Structure 1
Amino acid sequence: MPSPVRVGVLGCADIARRRMLPALAALEDTEIAAVASRDVETAARTAMPYGCRVVADYAELVTLPDVDAVYVPLPVALHAAWVEAALRAGKHVLAEKPLTTDPERSRALFALARRRGLVLWENVMFVHHAQHTAVRRLVADGLIGELRSFHAAFAVPRRPDGDIRLVPELGGGALWDVGVYPVRAAVHFLGAGLRVAGAVLTRDRYGRQVDTAGSVLLRTADGVGGHLEFGLDHAYRSSYALWGSEGGVTVEHAFTPPAGHRPVLRVADRTGTREIVLGPDDQVTNTVRGFARAVRAAGTGARPLPVGRAEEASLLQADLLAEVLHRAGLGLAPARPSLSGTEYS
């Protein structure tokens, strides 16, 4: 059995404590080497169940010699700087989504990782769940005929005052927090060539300077349409549907299912409607295991890694998110450069 990948964790965010740390500790592929927080007491409480080192300085953690990889669950606005710091320190990186809020910055970070033979993964866990592979297979087998449209929604109830997702300086807002999910789902099923045909972002009605809801229209080069909805002040919803010339398939609990959940695919075709019940799967475990295997495959001193599907998907996602901001009147038009564009030295 190869030695486990030793992971240092930057910050004690909810997703780190609830989902990622337990998965990192449970797998033989990984071990938690250290947890860093600017609040030492918080770091100590978070690290205690795992018996790992407590670090009070992010900069110290990314340079620890016994850390092979860094997991970054910090607020969105802090991702780019600490991902870059970890890469420059020679660490592989698993960073929460979105990787950055700027497509150019994301491209530069991926380029830096490739040149240094390091793995950089954006932590979009739902794409590693088996239910989406099953849906792709149904569509590829012609069950719904020719694909005509894609619909996806992810929304959660109102966030309390003080929640970091409502702080603009930290990269708050519905688009960066929940909008990433339907956008990435569209990338997953519709692929390259997607563009934004229209977008609306709704500002918080209680005076907080972030968007709390959004609606996006997408189109592919061959005319397939996409309709995405997301929000931070809604009844819970997590679903998508593919509609074709001869039928459709709908998935509920699409983006954050618990490990024991048995997915149900609701299928409609010429023969009627039915449900396909799948076995449970754990997208968190799948993500962590996949990252660890990618790190091992990279090897020490490896040549720059080639562009992979995950990187291409992350960059298409980044372009679409920037285009949504532009269409909604909240950002500049994205440049859409090639992967050989701006790079960090």
Structure 2
Amino acid sequence: MPEDRGPLRLGLLGCAGFARRRALPSLARLTEITLTAVASRDAGRAKLFAGEFGGEPVAGYEELLARDDLDAVYVPLPAALHAPWTGRALEAGLHVLVEKPAAATAAEADRLTRAARERGLVVMENFGFVHHAQQEAARSLLDEGAIGELRSLTAEFAFPPLPDTDIRYQPGLGGGALLDAGVYPIRTARLFLGDELEVTGASLREDPGRGVDVAGAALLTGPTGISAHLGFGFVHSYRCGYTLWGSAGRIGLNRAYSARDDFTPTLTLERDGRVEERRLVPDQQFTTLFRRFAAAVRDQDVAGPAHDLAQQARLVERIAATARRLPL
């Protein structure tokens, strides 16, 4: 960041629809970050985003990285481009906030985290849901012993088939259910069970015509025997939640991963033969995410975000390598 501790000067590397819908409106609320430049390979699209959210339009990613008025970049490109362009941004001396998955393999993650450490830069993977207050509400109840001792976790993120032209059906762009939807339940398992998780079973259902996995499941086990049962895919009815099952009850969230800013979450607490539904307050998870990214840069917290990124990639890779693959 600038020596005077002014706002973090951010460049947008890629004008993705998700960034326009969710991330950039949240960024606009902050004083800690200013959008300085917007890059797209389509000059018209860069101008459109810049006109809507501010910053100077730039025709091309290389031109953005060559600027001398940036401290960091946000990378919302297709999955297969995350690691290459994050690496190039780090080489250019820029901090990076990158959409999930930041890396598809442990080797990719190691290259990124090594580059960040060597240069004293922050590289953070964007899992917005982790920063929503509903996760803190579930954690607080668990820590208070509201459901006794945790025995298992079940987490699912799945939705109906996508349009045929969706990039998540394109293997060359890092498509597939594991890298798109599956990473959310995996991150949930790490959130509550830690990083010492063993993959004790996994399966992936593949669409032979498209060449990508469109559904999957995994069973993970922690060092004390607590299990995580994960499901994900593009061929289901909608499901976006998790359940913590303890010795004396259960805690559940039904919209854990895609809560919009105005959404009122409902937490379900089951214990003593009763079911209680608690309405939680709406929260701006992406605003909190950007604020924490700026704080990590300010505080030079290089190790924490890099560790999270690397642990996530290693677990995803182990699931992919372990999975039994079956045709849909």
2:303 to 303, 307, 332: 307
> Which residues of structure 2 form unaligned runs of 5+?
none
Q: For the residues of structure 2 that align with 1:233 and 1:329, how far apart are their CA atoms?
A: 18
Q: What SS class does the counterpart of residue 148 from structure 2 fall into?
A: coil
Corresponding residue for residue 252 of structure 1: 254
The Cα of 1:115 is off from its aligned counterpart by 2.1
**1:41-77 deviation digits (Å, cap 9, x = unpaired):** 1222122112321111111101211111100111111
1:321 to 312, 316, 325: 316
The Cα of 1:306 is off from its aligned counterpart by 5.2
Q: Do the aligned partners of 1:187 and 1:313 also contact (CA within 8 Å) in 2?
A: no
Corresponding residue for residue 240 of structure 2: 238
Q: For the residues of structure 1 that align with 2:306 and 2:119, how far apart are their CA atoms?
A: 15
Q: Do the aligned partners of 2:120 and 2:302 also contact (CA within 8 Å) in 1?
A: no
Corresponding residue for residue 58 of structure 2: 55
Q: What SS class does the counterpart of residue 310 from structure 2 fall into?
A: helix
Q: For the residues of structure 1 that align with 2:25 and 2:133, how far apart are their CA atoms?
A: 21
Q: 165-174 vs 273-282, which deviates more?
A: 273-282
Corresponding residue for residue 149 of structure 2: 146
Q: Do the aligned partners of 1:173 and 1:212 also contact (CA within 8 Å) in 2?
A: yes
Q: Do the aligned partners of 1:263 and 1:277 also contact (CA within 8 Å) in 2?
A: yes
The Cα of 1:274 is off from its aligned counterpart by 0.8
2:185 to 164, 182, 185: 182
1:79 to 55, 74, 82: 82
Q: Do the aligned partners of 2:116 and 2:302 also contact (CA within 8 Å) in 1?
A: no
1:267 to 261, 269, 272: 269
Q: For the residues of structure 2 that align with 1:290 and 1:172, how far apart are their CA atoms?
A: 28
Q: For the residues of structure 1 that align with 2:127 and 2:197, how far apart are their CA atoms?
A: 19
The Cα of 1:222 is off from its aligned counterpart by 1.1
Q: For the residues of structure 2 that align with 1:249 and 1:19, how far apart are their CA atoms?
A: 27
Residue type at the aligned position of 1:315: A
Q: Do the aligned partners of 1:188 and 1:313 also contact (CA within 8 Å) in 2?
A: no
1:293 to 292, 295, 298: 295
Q: What SS class does the counterpart of residue 201 from structure 2 fall into?
A: strand
Q: What SS class does the counterpart of residue 303 from structure 2 fall into?
A: coil
Q: For the residues of structure 2 that align with 1:11 and 1:42, how far apart are their CA atoms?
A: 10
Q: What SS class does the counterpart of residue 26 from structure 1 fall into?
A: coil
1:97 aligns with 2:92: no
Q: Do the aligned partners of 2:121 and 2:302 also contact (CA within 8 Å) in 1?
A: no
The Cα of 1:307 is off from its aligned counterpart by 2.2
Q: Do the aligned partners of 2:296 and 2:302 also contact (CA within 8 Å) in 1?
A: no
The Cα of 1:329 is off from its aligned counterpart by 4.8
The Cα of 1:26 is off from its aligned counterpart by 2.3
Residue type at the aligned position of 1:82: W
Q: For the residues of structure 2 that align with 1:51 and 1:83, how far apart are their CA atoms?
A: 22
Q: What SS class does the counterpart of residue 99 from structure 1 fall into?
A: coil
Residue type at the aligned position of 1:44: K
1:226 aligns with 2:222: no
> Which residues of structure 1 form unaligned runs of 5+?
299-304, 331-345
Residue type at the aligned position of 1:231: G
Instruction: Report the TM-score, using the length of structure 2 for normalisation.
Output: 0.94
Total equivalences in the alignment = 322
Q: Do the aligned partners of 2:160 and 2:237 also contact (CA within 8 Å) in 1?
A: yes
Residue type at the aligned position of 1:76: A
Q: 236-245 vs 196-205, which deviates more?
A: 196-205
Q: For the residues of structure 2 that align with 1:68 and 1:230, how far apart are their CA atoms?
A: 36
Query: Equivalent residues in 2 for 1:16-31 (5 A)?
Result: 16-31=19-34
Q: Do the aligned partners of 1:63 and 1:86 also contact (CA within 8 Å) in 2?
A: no
Amino-acid identity (%)? 48
**1:229-276 deviation digits (Å, cap 9, x = unpaired):** 111122211000000111110101101101122221100112622122
Q: Please, what is the CA RMSD of the aligned residues?
A: 1.5
Query: Equivalent residues in 2 for 1:63-212 (5 A)?
Result: 63-204=66-207, 207-212=209-214
1:36 aligns with 2:39: yes
1:11 aligns with 2:14: yes
Q: For the residues of structure 2 that align with 1:306 and 1:159, how far apart are their CA atoms?
A: 37
Q: For the residues of structure 2 that align with 1:271 and 1:235, how far apart are their CA atoms?
A: 29
Q: For the residues of structure 1 that align with 2:235 and 2:204, how far apart are their CA atoms?
A: 13
Corresponding residue for residue 278 of structure 2: 276
